[in-house]
Amino acid sequence: MDIRPITVISAFALGAALAFGLPALQRVAGFGIPAAVAERDAKPAGAPNKSTVVAIDEERIKLAEIEVRSAGPATIARRLTVPGTVVPDAGRVAHVAVKLSGTVAELHRNIGDDVVKDEILAVLESREVADAKSEYLAARLSNDLQQDLTARDKSLWEGRAVPEQQYIRSRNAAAQASMRLSIARQKLLALGVREDEIGALPQAADALLRSQNVRAPISGRIAERRVELGTAVGRDNLETDLFVIVDLGRVWIDLSVSSSDLPAVKEGQAVNISTRGQRETGTARIVFVSPLLDKDTRTARVVAAIDNADGHWRPGSFVTAAIAIGERAAPVVAPFSAVQNVEGRKAVFVRNKDGFEKRDVVLGQRDGQSVEIISGLAAGETIAVSNTFSLKAELSKPSEED
């Protein structure tokens, strides 16, 4: 068998390899070119891997509502997670009760209505308040008359027209009339009649003497209305509470903390509040730590207060509370919404001149909606923090060359 032709071909291939390099040898010898080598030869040195970059301009970023933010140092807290319940602030609940017996003549507000302090909610008709107002008017008239008589007797006594004994009797009668007027006025105040209403009584119509206004003691929302028109209220086992008003501008979070965790919980600590199935969170502040333990559960009641101007936290809702019991500084912290799971690894999308570059990262401790980045991201770099799933989906699309 003659092997010289093969030797000649081999020698030629070897010379081609020396002259043009390995790719030339593969082409001459008829071997296929590996994809990695072809991609390396096709891209200039230093160019990022195409599969890690999502090319997107500024206009498309705005249309996709992708928010960007710089990562940087922040404080990471170690938190104790406990269940809780939203309840009204006890200082912002008012029971509108009557202080006399009568019937409901008018209802100006209903359940669910927003009211302001001192607004009239209802009007009662009461013989008791009519008697008290009449007594006050009579005492006022008697006092005015007696004061005039006393002033006259004083003037006559000073002019030696009447004896001193008559002036002294007149002065005592004036003092008694003034005391009766004061007692009648205090009785009206005790029944819930306001100072301005008492002052207007002498000019009021007779029909208004039996009427009593029921006013809101605080601003808030009517949570309960317990009476109807014509309902008898007051004493003798009758209904005394007409309305319940709740101000939900601030609410409490009622927590139960075990005795073993209680030493780490202090008044004034911050608490992150979240609800299952909702993305919105809030920050509360502990205002009370009970010194007593429940004998059955061996837990203590802890109360945290949270602002609720938008009405998001509804009393009766179950929440999860994360109490900050330790803090430390972290060099790089990013919103947790910026992190995506790409091909089994955690990644963020870093803004560059072409769009966004996928960057694998290693996560550290999470604190609510923030997470520590241990490696893969430097402080000051700008990353996408919202709608990052669209970037992940764009990255997963096959390219035209695939």
Q: What pLDDT, on a 0 to 100 scale, did the predictor assign at position 247?
A: 94
The conformation of residue 298, written as its DSSP 8-state character, comes to: -
Q: What pLDDT, on a 0 to 100 scale, did the predictor assign at position 107?
A: 94
Does pLDDT of 95 surpass 90? yes
CATH number at residue 254: 2.40.30.170
Question: Distance between CA atoms of 297 and 291, rounded to whole angstroms?
Answer: 15
- H, E, C per residue of 93-144: EEEEECCCCEEEEEECCCCCCEECCCCEEEEEECHHHHHHHHHHHHHHHHHH
Q: Which domain holds residue 27?
A: 4-42
Arithmetic mean of pLDDT, 139-155: 92
Higher pLDDT, 59 or 218: 218
**Alpha-carbon distances, residue 223 vs 115, 173, 191, 210, 315 (angstroms):** 11, 51, 24, 28, 11
Residue 17: pLDDT band with limits 50, 70, 90: very low
Arithmetic mean of pLDDT, 308-315: 90
Arithmetic mean of pLDDT, 364-392: 88
CB 210 within 8 A of CB 129: yes
Q: Is 401 domain-assigned?
A: no
The conformation of residue 75, written as its DSSP 8-state character, comes to: E
Does pLDDT of 235 surpass 50? yes
Together in a domain, 136 and 199: yes
Together in a domain, 177 and 200: yes
Q: Is 111 domain-assigned?
A: yes
Q: What pLDDT, on a 0 to 100 scale, did the predictor assign at position 301?
A: 94
Together in a domain, 180 and 109: yes
Q: Is 344 domain-assigned?
A: yes
Question: Distance between CA atoms of 63 and 59, rounded to whole angstroms?
Answer: 6
Residue 237: pLDDT band with limits 50, 70, 90: low
Q: What pLDDT, on a 0 to 100 scale, did the predictor assign at position 398?
A: 65
Together in a domain, 232 and 289: no
Q: Is 174 domain-assigned?
A: yes
Arithmetic mean of pLDDT, 132-150: 94
Residue 119: pLDDT band with limits 50, 70, 90: very high
Q: How many domains does the chain have?
A: 4
**Alpha-carbon distances, residue 246 vs 111, 334, 389 (angstroms):** 11, 39, 42
Highest-pLDDT range among 37-41, 79-83, 123-127, 368-372: 123-127
| CA angle at 211 for the pair 145 and 227, rounded to the nearest 5° | 155
Higher pLDDT, 289 or 10: 289
From 225, 246, 267, the end of a domain falls on: 246
Together in a domain, 227 and 115: yes
Together in a domain, 108 and 175: yes
Helix (H) or strand (E) holding 27: helix 22-29
From 272, 300, 328, the end of a domain falls on: 328
Residue 23: pLDDT band with limits 50, 70, 90: very low
CB 245 within 8 A of CB 221: yes
Arithmetic mean of pLDDT, 109-114: 93
Classify residue 280 as exposed, middle or buried by CB count within 10 Å of its CB (0-12, 13-18, 19+).
exposed
Does pLDDT of 391 surpass 50? yes
Does pLDDT of 3 surpass 70? no
Together in a domain, 262 and 357: no
CATH number at residue 203: 2.40.50.100
Residue 242: pLDDT band with limits 50, 70, 90: very high
Q: Is 402 domain-assigned?
A: no
Q: Is 372 domain-assigned?
A: yes
- Picking from 144, 132, 222, 135, the residue whose alpha carbon sits closest to that of residue 177 is 144
Residue 238: pLDDT band with limits 50, 70, 90: confident
The tokens for 301 are 């009641």
Q: What pLDDT, on a 0 to 100 scale, did the predictor assign at position 15?
A: 43
Coil vs helix vs strand at 212: strand
Together in a domain, 120 and 238: yes
Together in a domain, 95 and 231: yes
Together in a domain, 210 and 339: no
Higher pLDDT, 215 or 278: 215
Mean pLDDT of the chain: 83
From 220, 246, 272, the end of a domain falls on: 246
Q: Is 115 domain-assigned?
A: yes
Q: Is 189 domain-assigned?
A: yes
The tokens for 65 are 């509502």
Together in a domain, 38 and 123: no
Together in a domain, 134 and 189: yes
Arithmetic mean of pLDDT, 359-383: 89
Residue 340 half-sphere exposure toward CB, CA atoms < 13 A: 22
Q: To the nearest whole percent, how much of the chain has pLDDT over 70?
A: 86
